[in-house]
A and B are shown apart, each in its own frame.
Chain A
C-alpha cells in the first residue's frame, strides 16, 4: 500500500475524513437520501421520495439530490451513507428507524456533514431527528370511523406492536368512542410494514368478523382493494393519499408530507443556519396531511372532522387530553391534562376500553 493511501486511511480513522471529501460540483448543494424500500412502494418510501423531488423542484440548479433504495438496515446503510458523504453530500436524510445507529456512526466520522434521521431518538451535534405526529391524523380518522360504522366494529391492521403504532390505535379509539360509545376495535398485527398479500388477508379477516371500517398502519393499498371487493366497508389511505380508491372505500387518508421539512432543512444547510433539532410536527406544520374527505361521508360528519383537524392544527386541542385511563383502569391523565411527549414516545399501553393485550 502506498504511503499516501496509508495516510488517508489513518485520516479517516482519526475522523478527519472531511479533508478527503469531494467538493460539491459547481456550487451545488448535494443532498442524499437513504431509502429502506423501493421508491415504487406506493407508501413510506414513495412519500419520502416525493419530498426529495420537492427539494429538487424548489431549488432547481442549486441542489443535486442522490438516493439509494432498498438499503438493508445495518452495515449496508452505513456504507451507503459514508459513500454519499465522501461524494460531497452536505445533508443526508436517513429514512428508517433501523438506520439510527448507523447514522450516528457515520455522523461521527463526518462532523461537517449534516444528518437527518427519521423516527429515531438519538441525536448528535450534526444529527437531527424528525418524525410526524401521525396520531393527530388518527384522531380525525377515529372521529369519522366512529360515525360511519354501523356494526360498531372497527378493524385495525397494525404492523408491529411498537409505540408509534400503539399511539395511533389509542388516538383513533379515543375519538371513535367519543362520538360512538358502543364502538369496539378489533386489532390484528400483521408483523410486517409491507406485504400486500398478508395485508389483504388481514383486511378480509376483519371484514368477515364484522368490521365495516378498516384502519391500517401498514403501507400497501391491499386493504383498500379488499374493502372494495367486500362492498360496504370504509377505509383510510395510509402514508399516501391512495385517492384511486376514493370515494369508496377510501373516505380520507393520512398523508406523510415530508416536503416542507426537507425544503426547510436543505435551505438551512445552504444558508449555514442548520442546527441539530428534534422535530415532531403534526397537522399544524403540514407534516401530517389529511386527505380529501370524500363524498361518502355525511356533510355533518365531515364538518366535525374538519373542525377537529383545525383545532389540532391550531394547538387548541391535543388528541391525548384527560380524563383518560389506561386499559387496566389505572389513572393516566387527569381532567384537562395533556400527555407529555416522553410518555407518548414510549407508549406501550392501551387506553381504557380497548380489548386484548399488546403482544410481547
Chain B
C-alpha cells in the first residue's frame, strides 16, 4: 500500500475531466426540471450527441463543428420528447424511457462504420497566467476548452435563473403552470425551449465523452452516465453550483476508487460505487425540510383547458 503515489493535483485534474460530461448533461436537465418537466431520456440524448458529434468531427475534421452537431443532434432528439409530452400530453416518465431506448438504437445505427476511427484531437488550452498559479493552475486552468465552457454554462445558468426575467418566468412555469398561464405566459412554448436546451446540453456532454474523454466511438459508450446526471440534479437540489459540486463528487468517486486500487489499497469497490447514490438519498431527506427547492409542477402535464 502506498497512498503517497497518488498525486492529488493530477487526481483533481482528472476528476474534473470525469465530471464535465456529467456537469453538461445535468445543467441541461436542471433547466428542464426547473420548467416543470422531467425528462428521463438523458442517456438517449447523450449517446445520440456522442455519435452526431463524432461523425461530424471525423467528416469535417473540425472538433468544434462536431460539438455543434452534437448539440443539434441532442436537441433534435429532445424535440421528439417535447412533441410527445407537450403537444400529445403523453406521460413524461414513460416518454423519457422510450426516448432512451430510441436514442440507443438510433446512435448504434448511425455509428456503424465509425468504430476504430480516431477523431481529430481537441487542443488543450492553458489559460495564460492562471495556469501558472500553483496547485489551482494545473487543476483548473490547463484543461480543454469544453471544460471552461461547462463552467461558464454553470455560471450562466445560475445567473439567468436567479437574476433575469427569463429565469423568473421559467421558474414560474415550473412552480405553477396554471398561474403562469393565467399571467399570459406561453407555458408550452417555454417548456419546449427548456427541453431543447436540455437536449443540446446532453448532446454536448455525450460528445465530450466520444471526442475528448475517451476519444472514440463505440456502441453504448455512455454506459449509464445519463442516468447519473439525472441523480445529480436531485442531489444538487436544483441549484447550479451544487450541480458542479455534485458532478465532481459523482465523477470523483470513480477516479478516486481507481486511484486507491492502483495505490494498492484494498477497497470494496461495489460499496464505494454505491455511495454517491446513498449520499443523494441522504441529501434528499435532509433537503426535504426545505420544500421550496423542488419545482412544484415537476412531471405534470399542462393543457390550457385544465
Point out residues on A near B: beta carbons under 8 Å. Answer: 37-38, 40-42, 46, 155, 186-192, 194-198, 200-202, 204-206, 208-211, 220-222, 225, 244, 355-357, 359
CA distance A330 to B268 in the complex (A): 26
Asked whether A244 lies within 8 Å of B261 as measured between CB atoms, the reply is no
Asked whether B214 lies within 8 Å of A186 as measured between CB atoms, the reply is no
Asked whether B266 lies within 8 Å of A221 as measured between CB atoms, the reply is no
Given A38-B108, A188-B258, A205-B259, residue A197 in contact with residue B214 (CB < 8 A): yes
Asked if B18 is at the interface (CB within 8 A of a chain A CB), the reply is yes
Asked whether A201 lies within 8 Å of B255 as measured between CB atoms, the reply is yes
CB distance from A243 to the nearest CB of B (A): 9
Asked whether B223 lies within 8 Å of A186 as measured between CB atoms, the reply is no
Asked whether A205 lies within 8 Å of B223 as measured between CB atoms, the reply is no
Given A38-B220, A209-B5, residue A197 in contact with residue B262 (CB < 8 A): no
Tell which of B18, B216, B263, B266 touches A225, judged by Cβ atoms closer than 8 Å. Answer: B216
Given A197-B225, A201-B258, A355-B264, residue A209 in contact with residue B216 (CB < 8 A): no
List the B side residues contacting A221 at CB < 8 Å.
116, 216
Asked whether B116 lies within 8 Å of A208 as measured between CB atoms, the reply is no
Asked if B59 is at the interface (CB within 8 A of a chain A CB), the reply is no
CA distance A275 to B269 in the complex (A): 43
Interface centre among B112, B115, B209, by most A CB within 10 Å? B115
Given A40-B111, A244-B118, residue A196 in contact with residue B221 (CB < 8 A): yes
Q: Name 18 A/B residue pairs within 8 A (Cβ), A-sorted.
A: A41-B115, A41-B219, A186-B264, A196-B209, A196-B221, A197-B214, A198-B254, A201-B14, A202-B258, A204-B14, A208-B10, A220-B214, A220-B216, A221-B216, A222-B216, A225-B214, A225-B216, A355-B264
Asked if B303 is at the interface (CB within 8 A of a chain A CB), the reply is no
Tell which of A42, A187, A194 touches B261, judged by Cβ atoms closer than 8 Å. Answer: A187
Kindly list 15 other residue pairs between chains A and B, CB separation below 8 angstroms, not including A188-B262, A221-B216, A222-B216. Answer: A41-B219, A186-B264, A188-B261, A191-B270, A196-B216, A200-B213, A201-B255, A201-B258, A206-B262, A208-B6, A208-B7, A208-B14, A208-B259, A209-B7, A356-B266
List the B side residues contacting A204 at CB < 8 Å.
14, 17
Asked if B11 is at the interface (CB within 8 A of a chain A CB), the reply is yes
CA distance A200 to B223 in the complex (A): 13
List the A side residues contacting B299 at CB < 8 Å.
none
Point out residues on B near A: beta carbons under 8 Å. Answer: 5-7, 10-11, 14, 17-18, 21, 108, 111-112, 115-116, 118, 209, 213-216, 218-223, 225, 254-255, 258-259, 261-264, 266, 268-270, 273
Asked whether A197 lies within 8 Å of B14 as measured between CB atoms, the reply is no
Tell which of B7, B21, B219, B258 touches A40, judged by Cβ atoms closer than 8 Å. Answer: B219
CA distance A222 to B259 in the complex (A): 17
CA distance A355 to B269 in the complex (A): 18
Asked whether B262 lies within 8 Å of A186 as measured between CB atoms, the reply is yes
List the B side residues contacting A357 at CB < 8 Å.
266
CB distance from B238 to the nearest CB of A (A): 26
Q: How many A-B residue pairs have CB under 8 A?
A: 104
CA distance A222 to B264 in the complex (A): 23
CA distance A194 to B115 in the complex (A): 14
Given A41-B219, A197-B213, A222-B214, residue A208 in contact with residue B261 (CB < 8 A): no
List the B side residues contacting A200 at CB < 8 Å.
213-214
Asked whether A42 lies within 8 Å of B218 as measured between CB atoms, the reply is yes
Given A196-B214, A244-B118, A357-B266, residue A205 in contact with residue B112 (CB < 8 A): no
Asked whether A210 lies within 8 Å of B5 as measured between CB atoms, the reply is yes
Asked whether A196 lies within 8 Å of B219 as measured between CB atoms, the reply is no
CA distance A349 to B259 in the complex (A): 23
List the B side residues contacting A196 at CB < 8 Å.
209, 214, 216, 218, 221, 223
Asked whether B266 lies within 8 Å of A195 as measured between CB atoms, the reply is no
List the A side residues contacting B14 at CB < 8 Å.
201, 204-205, 208
Tell which of B21, B116, B269 touches A191, judged by Cβ atoms closer than 8 Å. Answer: B269
Asked whether A40 lies within 8 Å of B261 as measured between CB atoms, the reply is no
CB distance from A32 to the nearest CB of B (A): 22
CA distance A155 to B215 in the complex (A): 20
**A210: nearest residue on chain B (CB-CB)?**
B5
List the A side residues contacting B11 at CB < 8 Å.
208
**B15: nearest residue on chain A (CB-CB)?**
A201
CA distance A204 to B11 in the complex (A): 9
CA distance A37 to B262 in the complex (A): 28
CA distance A42 to B216 in the complex (A): 11
**A38: nearest residue on chain B (CB-CB)?**
B219
Given A155-B262, A220-B216, residue A201 in contact with residue B269 (CB < 8 A): no
Tell which of B21, B223, B259 touches A198, judged by Cβ atoms closer than 8 Å. Answer: B223
Asked whether A41 lies within 8 Å of B218 as measured between CB atoms, the reply is yes
CB distance from A229 to the nearest CB of B (A): 8
Asked whether A209 lies within 8 Å of B261 as measured between CB atoms, the reply is no
CA distance A357 to B261 in the complex (A): 10
Asked whether A359 lies within 8 Å of B218 as measured between CB atoms, the reply is no
CA distance A211 to B262 in the complex (A): 10
List the A side residues contacting B115 at CB < 8 Å.
40-42, 46
CB distance from B123 to the nearest CB of A (A): 12
List the B side residues contacting A210 at CB < 8 Å.
5
CB distance from B264 to the nearest CB of A (A): 5
CA distance A223 to B21 in the complex (A): 18
Given A197-B223, A225-B215, residue A42 in contact with residue B258 (CB < 8 A): no
List the A side residues contacting B112 at CB < 8 Å.
40
Asked whether B10 lies within 8 Å of A189 as measured between CB atoms, the reply is no
Asked whether B218 lies within 8 Å of A205 as measured between CB atoms, the reply is no
Asked whether A356 lies within 8 Å of B10 as measured between CB atoms, the reply is no
**B256: nearest residue on chain A (CB-CB)?**
A205
Closest 7 CB pairs of A and B: A208-B10, A205-B258, A38-B219, A196-B214, A195-B223, A188-B261, A186-B262
List the B side residues contacting A244 at CB < 8 Å.
116, 118
Given A189-B261, A225-B216, A357-B266, residue A201 in contact with residue B254 (CB < 8 A): yes
CB distance from B127 to the nearest CB of A (A): 19
